[in-house]
Amino acid sequence: MRPSASPPANAGGSAIKRLWPIAALLVAVVALFFFGPNNEAILEALHEHRETVLAFVADNAVLAGLAYVTVYVLAIAFSVPGGAMMTIAGGFLFDWQLATIYVVFAATVGATAVFIVARSAVGNRLRARAGPWMKKMEAGFQENALNYLLVLRLIPVFPFFVINLVSAFLGVNLRTYVIATFIGIIPGTIVFALFGDGLGSLLDADAEFDISTVLTPQIMAALAGLAALAAAPVIYKKMRARKS
């Protein structure tokens, strides 16, 4: 019998070396959010390494996708800020359609992990992080958890991680939570992924990178319209209760 070949000694190092371009780009794009859109060093790094990174993604599509989804799931699970910037980075790395699939899946998985942990005994330690927001959301969840959660996902009036925690603390059903999260984050994800898909042309034109340009009045109006549709059953129920 032929002995099975052992993996090369440097296999781990080789995998890490192949993953560094994605990690570097994610750090650079998120850094733009924290250190400002006019940071010349970061913009220059994006210009310099963009072709290398995009070529790596094209040649290692499966590995790149797995790495991106893993990082995104962990970021959401540990409530790390910068989800919008990571979505933009996804649109830049892949394309907006693929990035949307990756982000919606990863964000839903990460948020569900937080939800499950918050409902366990460990959740008592997380309750303090919800703060006074829990009281503000309590009535809405009691009226119609699915529609209210859809509204909160479509228009994030409250921080993403707070909604994850409060949903668990107020007894939202897991199935309701997953459905509302999955559907509710799709429109916003598409908006940021589209912006990331066009980020290359923005860099080529030396235009100013500004996160505020993503959520234009038109986009906000569209999201508000979707939220209003989601809230319609709740509003109708309240109106009927007042008339009776």
Confidence of residue 6 (pLDDT cuts 50, 70, 90): very low
pLDDT in tens, 160-172: 888 998 898 888 9
Q: 172-196 burial, b for 16+ CB within 10 Å, e for fewer?
A: beeebbbebbbbbbbbbbbbbbbbb
Confidence of residue 177 (pLDDT cuts 50, 70, 90): very high
Residue 145, pLDDT > 80, answer yes
Q: What pLDDT does 67 receive?
A: 85
pLDDT in tens, 29-53: 555 545 544 445 656 666 677 787 7
- Tell me the pTM: 0.73
Query: What average pLDDT score do residues 99-110 get?
Result: 96
Residue 184, pLDDT > 70, answer yes
Residue with tokens 């649109």: 91
What are the contacts of 135-139 at 24+ separation with CB within 8 A? 137/163, 137/166, 137/170, 138/170
Residue 236, pLDDT > 50, answer no
What are the contacts of 177-181 at 24+ separation with CB within 8 A? 177/112, 177/115, 177/149, 178/108, 178/112, 179/146, 180/145, 180/146, 180/149, 180/150, 180/153, 181/107, 181/108, 181/111, 181/112, 181/149, 181/153
The domain locations on the chain are 19-243
Enter the tokens of residue 8: 């090369």
Name the residue with higher pLDDT: 123 or 71. 71
Question: DSSP string covering 67-122, please?
Answer: HHHHHHHHHHHTT-S-HHHHHHHHHHHS-HHHHHHHHHHHHHHHHHHHHHHHHSTT
